[in-house]
Amino acid sequence: MLATRVLYYGKEEALPRRIPLRAGPLTLFYEEGDLRTVKWGEHEVLRRIYVAIRDRDWGTVLPVLSNVQMDIQLDHFGITFSVANQAGPINFAWQGTIIGSPDGVLTYSMDGIARSTFVRSRIGFCILHPAECAGTACRITDVDGREKEAVLPTLIQPQQPLAPFAEMAGLAHEVEPGVWAELRLRGDIFEMEDQRNWTDASFKTFCTPLRLPYPVEVAQGTRIEQSVELRIIDERPQPLTVTADAAGSEGGETAPLLFDVAAGGVLLPLPGFGLLHTSSDEPLSAAARERLAALRLDHLRVDLHLRQEDVAEQLRAGMAEAAAIGAPLHLALFVNAEEADVQLAALAALVAVQKPPVIRWLVFPTPELFLGGTPTAAVLATAHRHLDGLVPAAQFAAGTDTEFIFAQRSLPPLEQIDLFTFAMNPQVHAFDNLSLAETLGSQATSVQTARHLAQGKPVMVSPITLKMRYNPLAAEPAPPTPAGELPANVDVRQMSLFGAGWTLGSIKAMAESGVASATYYETVGWRGVMETAAGSAAPDTFFSLPDGVFPLYHIFAALSAFVGGQVLPARSSDPLRVTGLVLQKAGAQRLLLANLTPEPQQIALLGLRGVQQVWRLDENNAEQAMRDPASLVASAQPTAVGADGRLLLDLLPYAIAGVDSAGSGQPANKNP
């Protein structure tokens, strides 16, 4: 049997403890050297304060804490600890001191020393303002003491640093009229970037300025000292006393969350959802073919690197998988700009013979970064010359195969494309469950900004994965994966309930923001929606069942009966705890909910009527549902909605629930 924590989030280790703190009117949490969710009353003023060590390729060198000392009182606290950041040649050690005073001043200091000589891209504090601060008035104090005013942007901005948030020694933003959250920054020069470019739900203030050369050598013995101070400035004529609610226990509030099924008004078409062709060499098993076909996928994406010698082989394999699961193809073409004519001519000849069922060409030049992040007009023009008319009605898409910021910096020629595309993953800067859940709030903003850039062209997102597939900033190829370790692009949460909840939240963001289509994950394997017949290649690290589906498979299965249907935008009173999606088709309605937290949650569903069929996917039945997907929906139980239209629903940690209208028009599930 799989352990409960493995079912929750893919590994047996306990999550770091989140410790509630209070500094006068401020409430916050401490978690392994980080400060999180800093609030003044009900207002979240900062999302996170932490120290980051980035290697030459901007990889994160994770901290190891020791000697943690805490003095926590009702309205103030003090915390000290030692940290070691070690990876390869990097050996950096520092002391952290965090003080919260009764008058509401919060100070975080670090004092570090290089124990080896190494190359770094960054060392220092990162301070995150929540994405909800978009449109907020700010005051900037530059390093010369001059002050200026600015407003945080609503649409995502690609500039680094974000103008005019540069050369900063201080920054304040307006929490509510007349009340400001003021930061004082010491030990380096700070600037800000719009982290929503990577779907982080924040604006990040960091050091050292990107105008200075990087990476740079840090000599052994180099000392680095920095500090961040936060205080609330109340300029109202008659300041009101703000009483801080307790930061809360790890169990959260006792009152139920509210989920309003009919909050959004206008119905939207359900986008087409597809998957990536598996990177496994193992052919699909009979069970995999049946279970993937049941998802009624909009497409299968197959990547063709036209410079490689096995293009014909890769195309045949992709066509075979597409035929097995009954899906047409998105062919992603990686074209070397200098050899575009030769490579695309060879592809056209191949397509004329093999006749793949292509509905979209995704065109990307290589190496992408050095060409500005998007296909050049010349590469697209060559693609049109060789491929136009070869497959009737096939569309052209371009943008970027990596993060949104690269598409922002250099748009493709819109007159040459039918769709604008970019990729997403939630782990460019942070890797814990809460940070991943936070990214869900920025995915819709990415699409909104993309629609603005595309000037009316449809937007597709391809692909969306739990981890970065490759590092576009790497100076050298990634080294081979050591024996017994997982590849850098594999996340153990792929097979977990949390992975399913994150996927549901992402699909909600895609559907409610109006994308034309979205591509997720792979078909099978540890980056897929189910395991291969052979099972995990690292069974002691990536826990899965041979030929078993992952919990996130059930999210796509729940969508399958509503293909061609619609989405009704809905609202959760706390989307970081519970997210949900409402589907409609032919008079039927299905509500999907996910608890994104390690605590049980009670949700009051609003706007339902009559009797509902309710099923749950949680620690009690997840393993059975992996082995036998059909058992999940078969477990649904009729539940009556109250006369007031409310239905109380209890969800265990990381649980998923489905709530189906019991009318005669309800689509049947196709789960095998």
pLDDT of residue 550: 98
Q: How far is CA 139 from the centre of its chain?
A: 30
Q: What letters, b where the CB count within 10 A reaches 16 and e where it falls short, cover 125-164? A: bbbbbbbebbebebbbbeeeeeeeebebbeebbbbbbbeb
Q: Which long-range contacts (CB under 8 A, 24 or more apart) does 94-100 make?
A: 94/51, 94/224, 96/33, 96/51, 98/30, 98/35, 100/21, 100/22, 100/23, 100/24, 100/26, 100/28, 100/76
For residue 370, the model assigns a pLDDT of: 55
Take residue 299 and report the two structure tokens written for it.
């497409």
CA distance 299 to 325: 10
Q: Would you say the C-alpha torsion 331, 336, 337, 343 has a positive or negative sign? A: negative
Interatomic CA distance for residues 475 and 604, integer angstroms = 51
Residue segments in the chain with a per-residue pLDDT below the cut of 50: 248-253, 664-668, 670, 672
The pair phi, psi for residue 505, each rounded to 5°, is: -65, -35
Structural contact between residues 643 and 667, judged by C-beta atoms closer than 8 angstroms: no
Query: How many angstroms separate the CA atoms of 184 and 278, rounded?
Result: 49
Measured CA to CA, the distance from residue 169 to residue 167 in angstroms comes to 7
The pLDDT score that the predictor gives to residue 263 is 67
What is the number of other CB atoms lying within 10 angstroms of the CB of residue 53? 23
pTM: 0.92
**Is 633 in contact with 654 (CB distance < 8 Å)?**
no
452-467 confidence digits (pLDDT tens): 999 999 999 999 999 9
Angle (nearest 5°) at CA 160 between 155 and 165: 80
For residue 664, what pLDDT is reported?
A: 34
What is the Cα–Cα distance from 588 to 458, expressed in whole angstroms?
28
Mapping DSSP onto H, E and C, the string for 356-369 reads CCEEEEEEEEECCH
pLDDT tens-digit series, residues 638-666: 998 887 888 999 999 999 999 998 653 34
* Burial class, 96, CB count within 10 angstroms (exposed 0-12 / middle 13-18 / buried 19+): buried
Using CB atoms within 10 Å of the CB of residue 235, give its burial: 0 to 12 exposed, 13 to 18 middle, 19+ buried.
Answer: exposed
Supply φ then ψ for residue 508, to 5 degrees: -60, -50
Q: How many CA atoms lie within 13 A of 42 on its CB side?
A: 2
How far, in Å, CA of 200 to CA of 310, rounded?
37
Give the pLDDT score at 634: 87
Over residues 173-219, the pLDDT tens digits come to 999 999 999 999 999 999 999 999 999 999 999 999 999 988 999 99
Nearest-angstrom CA–CA distance, 27 and 125 = 20
Is residue 518 within 8 A of residue 273, CB to CB? The reply is yes
Calculate Rg over the CA atoms of the chain: 25
Q: Which two tokens stand for residue 672?
A: 């095998």
Residues 10 and 539: their CA atoms lie apart, in Å, by: 12
Instruction: Supply angle C-alpha 261, 264, 267, rounded to 5.
Output: 95
DSSP state, 534?
A: T
* Residues in Cβ contact with 212 at an 8 Å cutoff, skipping those fewer than 6 apart: none
